[in-house]
Structure 1
Amino acid sequence: MALKLVSRSQWGARAYLTPNGATPYSGPRRGVKLHYLGTPYSDRPHEQCAAYIRQLQAQHMDGNGWSDIGYSFAVCTHGYVHEGRGLKRRNSANGNTTLNEQDYAVLMLVGSTGLTKPTDEQLHGARDAIEYCRKEGPAGDWLGGHRDGYATACPGDSVYAWVQAGAPRPKASTPEEATVALSDDDAKKVAKATLTIDGVIANPNPATAKKNTHISLATAARNIEIVTRRTETRLAALQATVDKLVSLIGSGVDTKTVVAAVEKAIADAVIKVDIDVTGPGAS
C-alpha cells in the first residue's frame, strides 16, 4: 500500500525548539519501536485527527517541557502517518537518550481504554511507517515495543502482540459464500425447470425423480453441458460458413456456385447431435 504521509505543515505543527529539537541521530537506527497513548482514546473522524496530534504536541512541549512532540511518527486509525520528529531528528519517546538514539518511535493512536485495538487501516499505516523508516531512515530490521528495554506497559497488549508477530499486514477480507438451504420442494422445481433445456429430457428414471432430487439436479447439469457443446459446435460451423463466403467473394465464381456452396455450408452448420444421456455412453 502507498504511504499516506501527513507532513508537519499539513497537520499544523508548531515549530520545534532549538537546539534540542534539532538534535540529529548520530548513526543508523537499529530498528523501530511501537507506542500507544497509554490513556483513554476514542476514535474520531479523520478531519479531527490533526487537531489531536496538535494536542499531543502541546502536551509534550508545554506539559513535559520537551522541544517537540516526542514521536518520530504517529499513525491514526485511518492509516495516515503523521510526521513527528521524522527520519533525521532524534525522538524523545523511548525512555532515555540511549533508547531514543537506538530506534525510531512510531505511535499508534490507540488507548489503554476505549479504543484499544488498532484498525486494519491503522495496521497498514503502521506497517507503511516501519517500511519507510527502514528504507529512508535508515533503520535495521529490529522491531519491538516501548516495553522492550524500558519498564512500561506501552504499547499495550494488542499492539505488542502484533509487533511480536512481525507486524504483518491484515489479511484482505473476502465475503463468505452465502449458503442457501433449498427445501426439497424448491429443489424439485429447479430440476423441473432445467431438465428440459433445448428439448433434452434428462432424468434417467422419471419414476424416481421425486425421491432422488440430487440425481435429477446432477442430470440437469449434464444436460446443460450437452446444450453448451451443441451451441459451441454450431457457432464453429457458422464461422466456417463465413470463412467459405469470404473465400468465394471476388474469386470469379458464378452466383449459382456461390449459392450452392452457401446452402451446403448452412446444412453442415445445422449439426444434429443426438446424445442419449441415459445410455452406456453417458458420463
Structure 2
Amino acid sequence: MAIDLVTRSTWGARAPKGSYSPLSSTRGVKVHYTGGRVDPAIIDDHAKCVAMVKSIQDFHMDGNGWIDIGYSMVVCPHRKVFVGRGAKHVPAANGAGLNSGHYAVLGLVGNAGLVEPTDEILHGILDAIEYLRAEGGAGREIQGHRDGYATDCPGGPLYAWVRRGAPRPGGGDPPPVVPGTPKWPGRLLRFPPVMRGDDVKAWQAQMKLIGFELDADGAYGQRSRDVCKTFQRRVDLPDDGIVGRLTWEASFTAKP
C-alpha cells in the first residue's frame, strides 16, 4: 500500500497531554472538513498545510481541552497524510459516544475559500482509510461526520463524494462531462444573499431546459435555491441548495 505519510515528528506535533484510549477495531471511518475558511493558497504551498495542521492541534488542545488533535489522520491537497492520533487510538472529533465506532479523517477543505476537495485530497483520504484498515482494524464503512451527529461536516461537496461511495478519482465516477458543457465557474452559487452573474444565468437556462420552471435572469435567489434542492434530490446529491462543482456537472449532463 502506497501512502505519503507525514509523521508527527515531521510536522512538529506537540506531545499529547495524556494517554490515548486504545482502539483495536472500528466499523469504519468518518470523513471531516474544517468547518471554517481554508486558504486556497495551501494548494501551492505545503508549508501552509503544515501550519494549518499545527493550528488545528493547538485549538483542540488549548481551546477544546483535548489531550491532542482530535483526528486520526489529516489529508492535504498534496496527497500527504498527516498522522494525528493515528491507528489503534480513539479519536475525539466524531462526537461524544461516537468515537470508538469510527476513526476520524480530516480533509483540508472548509466552508469558505477552498471548499471543493481536489482529486489529491480525495486520493489522500482513501490512502488514509486504507492505512487505518491495514494498521488499525478499521471496518468497511465510510461515512460523513454528519451521519449520526448534528453537524454540517464534512460540507456539501465532500459529503456528496462520500454518499457516492467515495470512489477513487479517475475511476469513471462521476460520469464524464459532455463535450461543450460549460466549465464549473469555480464559485459556489448560493442564497442568501442573491448572487448574480453569467454563470448563474447559464445554470438557470440549463435547469429550464431540463424541465424546471425557472427564469434565466442571472439572479440566484430563493426560487433558484428551491429548484437546486429539488434537482439535487433527483440525482442523489445532498440537497443543500448550493451549486458547487458536483451539482453543476450533474446539471449539464442531466436529461430533460
Task: Give TM-score, length-normalised by structure 2.
Answer: 0.64
SS at match of 1:107: strand
Corresponding residue of 2:205 = none
Corresponding residue of 1:150 = 149
Give, in whole Å, the separation in 1 of the partners of 2:113 and 2:48: 17
Deviation at residue 14 of structure 1 after TM alignment = 0.2
Question: Could you give the per-residue CA deviations for residues 73-96 of structure 1, whole angstroms, max 9, x where no partner exists?
Answer: 000111110000000211000011
SS at match of 1:71: coil
Corresponding residue of 1:42 = 39
Give, in whole Å, the separation in 1 of the partners of 2:164 and 2:4: 23
Corresponding residue of 2:115 = 116
Give, in whole Å, the separation in 2 of the partners of 1:17 and 1:111: 27
Corresponding residue of 2:138 = 139
Deviation at residue 47 of structure 1 after TM alignment = 2.2
Deviation at residue 172 of structure 1 after TM alignment = 7.4
Corresponding residue of 1:6 = 6
Corresponding residue of 2:190 = none
In structure 1, which of residues 20, 23, 30 is the aligned counterpart of residue 21 of structure 2?
A: 23
Deviation at residue 2 of structure 1 after TM alignment = 2.2
Distance 1:158 1:14, change over 3 A: same
Gaps of 5+ in 2: 173-256
Give, in whole Å, the separation in 1 of the partners of 2:57 and 2:122: 22
Distance 1:70 1:112, change over 3 A: same
Give, in whole Å, the separation in 2 of the partners of 1:88 and 1:127: 18
Deviation at residue 99 of structure 1 after TM alignment = 0.7
Maintained 8 Å contact 2:17/2:67? yes
Deviation at residue 124 of structure 1 after TM alignment = 0.8
Give, in whole Å, the separation in 2 of the partners of 1:113 and 1:129: 24
- What does 1:227-266 correspond to in 2, within 5 Å? none
1:82 aligns with 2:82: yes
SS at match of 1:33: strand
Give, in whole Å, the separation in 2 of the partners of 1:151 and 1:9: 34
SS at match of 1:139: coil
Give, in whole Å, the separation in 2 of the partners of 1:172 and 1:32: 21
Task: Give TM-score, length-normalised by structure 1.
Answer: 0.58
Name the aligned partner's letter for residue 10 of structure 1.
T
Give, in whole Å, the separation in 1 of the partners of 2:166 and 2:103: 15
Corresponding residue of 2:67 = 67
Question: Could you give the per-residue CA deviations for residues 5-54 of structure 1, whole angstroms, max 9, x where no partner exists?
Answer: 101001000000114xx2112x4110000000000111321122111111
Query: Which structure has the bigger radius of gyration?
Result: 1
Corresponding residue of 1:53 = 53
Question: How many residues get paired?
Answer: 169
Q: Which ranges of 4 or more aligned residues in structure 1 deviate by more than 3 Å?
A: none
Gaps of 5+ in 1: 174-283
Name the aligned partner's letter for residue 6 of structure 2.
V
Deviation at residue 102 of structure 1 after TM alignment = 0.4
Give, in whole Å, the separation in 1 of the partners of 2:148 and 2:65: 24
Deviation at residue 60 of structure 1 after TM alignment = 0.5
1:103 aligns with 2:68: no
Report the aligned-residue RMSD.
Answer: 1.4
